[in-house]
Structure 1
């Protein structure tokens, strides 16, 4: 089969190779990959920034993949040949709290992922794909959508009428707009682009804050909420942005730290944190039970992912480059028909 393999740091070391098609073990499935989508995690791995000591051996990258099962191991009971399934990032995190060793089980680094014509998945590391979504749409779910769902639903217990502040308009942020508004929340979005702000409104955002025109966006959030702040904040920026989020959050509100676009490090104003009695929750995607729940909800709520651009399998490098420039919604690579 053809596969893209990470053989070193940097896009120049992402190589298109010919390799053996893997055979499934007793509790594994072989999936013919249809589409994959890219996340900031994928770029960070290629750039050598994301857990470099763990990602130091060659492997097939990209965690988010959808495809058709073409062969099952002789002990598989959950799926059958012909089922359309989507990958789950952390193969051993099924439900509840994760075990200590869950991170090294991730696919797309350090274990082989989906940027190939075929991939192996553990039986319990796959979830049935929502029936109302295309392959390209389904491929965007495993990290970006589940991260938001796990934040707002599993941890935040979001309810209709809550205010959700979404930072930016990348893949996770766009899903946050869609999911929060579908669940009846008021959504405020920060962006550097008025045109992206208009797109965000079309997806359900109530108010837009252009942080170029209004650099102290946290003060604007308080104005828009009559001083109350937002009950939920999707924090994707990292660095000093966390202190602005603490100022913008409601009393005993939730800040979900899901990314570090600017920096992995921050000095936190502890007095503001104490005064707000805020919950700051690190989010590392979520477990497969929540993934299955979310997929059912996507069917019922009729949420359709927003895709910026679809690239061909041979254009993987261009897809990564586009991700680095930024996008409104998700970057998808179509692997096969």
Structure 2
């Protein structure tokens, strides 16, 4: 009779054998598994399909994707509200964020070779400098190829090398939320040691803002409706925390935490329910990074208030490959790791989307391939 340990070892062996078979197929089969958006009666659905294996043409790189991560944008693409605006994602590959290993290169590729560890940039064609219409049209997971696939092909310009100290799961969290927080605080905000930073909620952008601000010697203050998440934020370096559900006028408490001076930086992701209050917490000469609208569209920024206080507001839409590379250098220098709430398997992609939808997570949600 087999012991419980024998059964356990057999189960582990079966899982490893299945994983080995899946990996062999991904590496050499003529077909690969890939998720796609499929139009349904109520928005879109995730469908796992078997498709022809892509081939790297001149200037292109073939990547065995090892992990992907979700952003709120990805969850929104499944909603009827997005489809109602006339956006067609039918057949597109979901997810902008992913990391993996180079398994083949086309002719004329000079930036990478087989075996390199890479992550895709959010905009595959925004390399450096100011944003352009063409660059913004290359966002992955929408008008350009997504990452929720066993293998993807992309131009070499749309990839960056990932820091050696990060796992694939950690690197997969960087392209959107990480670069957005970096751009808002450093590229546009010129964050300095000792300055106060207001972070709204504990999702991906705010969690990156927290670890970046702490590493830079700044003073992050973070809001949340969960005291457990606020306790975790204090462990990660927050100098002040405010529960906005328990304190409707949370901006007053935020300002009090700065001895009345106000915060020097705001990563504004809330929109309608947060923007005006966050503006009240902004210091003279502060920087307001406009990022998102999780609670709905916010009214226009009051220009008179910016003029009176000498403050500035910048619209942030992720960033360029150069921003990504600068962020990676900073993370390597300080040995920073992202905040990951949970890692799902490739076959559990829908469950990952469900967790994103209910909001009961902190940091990033990852899918391991």
The Cα of 1:303 is off from its aligned counterpart by: 0.7
Pairing 1:119–2:152 present:
yes
2:367 to 321, 333, 337: 333
Judge conservation of contact 2:44–2:80 (CA < 8 Å) in 1.
Answer: no
Looking at structure 2, the residues matched to 201 and 126 of structure 1 have their Cα atoms a distance apart, in angstroms, of 34
Match of 2:77 in 1: 45
The Cα of 1:264 is off from its aligned counterpart by: 2.2
TM-score, L = length of structure 2: 0.87
1:289 to 322, 331, 345: 322
Greater RCO (CA < 8 Å, at least 6 residues apart): 1
Cα offsets for 1:69-90 (capped at 9, x unmatched): 1111101111001111000011
Stretches of structure 1 that go unaligned for 5 or more consecutive residues are none
Judge conservation of contact 2:37–2:44 (CA < 8 Å) in 1.
Answer: no
The Cα of 1:221 is off from its aligned counterpart by: 1.7
The Cα of 1:249 is off from its aligned counterpart by: 0.6
The Cα of 1:240 is off from its aligned counterpart by: 4.1
1:98-247 aligned at under 5 Å gives the runs 98-247=131-280
Looking at structure 2, the residues matched to 11 and 119 of structure 1 have their Cα atoms a distance apart, in angstroms, of 25
The Cα of 1:306 is off from its aligned counterpart by: 1.0
Looking at structure 1, the residues matched to 338 and 247 of structure 2 have their Cα atoms a distance apart, in angstroms, of 29
Pairing 1:304–2:329 present:
no
Give the total of aligned pairs: 335
The Cα of 1:49 is off from its aligned counterpart by: 4.2
The secondary structure found in structure 2 opposite 1:7 is strand
Pairing 1:2–2:36 present:
no
Q: Which structure has the larger Rg over C-alpha atoms? A: 2
Judge conservation of contact 2:89–2:142 (CA < 8 Å) in 1.
Answer: no
Pairing 1:64–2:97 present:
yes
Cα offsets for 1:152-179 (capped at 9, x unmatched): 1101111100100111111111111100
Match of 1:19 in 2: 51
TM-score, L = length of structure 1: 0.95
Judge conservation of contact 1:240–1:266 (CA < 8 Å) in 2.
Answer: no
Match of 1:28 in 2: 60
The secondary structure found in structure 1 opposite 2:55 is coil
Looking at structure 2, the residues matched to 270 and 70 of structure 1 have their Cα atoms a distance apart, in angstroms, of 51
Cα offsets for 1:214-261 (capped at 9, x unmatched): 111111122121221100011110114211111111112111111111
The secondary structure found in structure 2 opposite 1:105 is coil
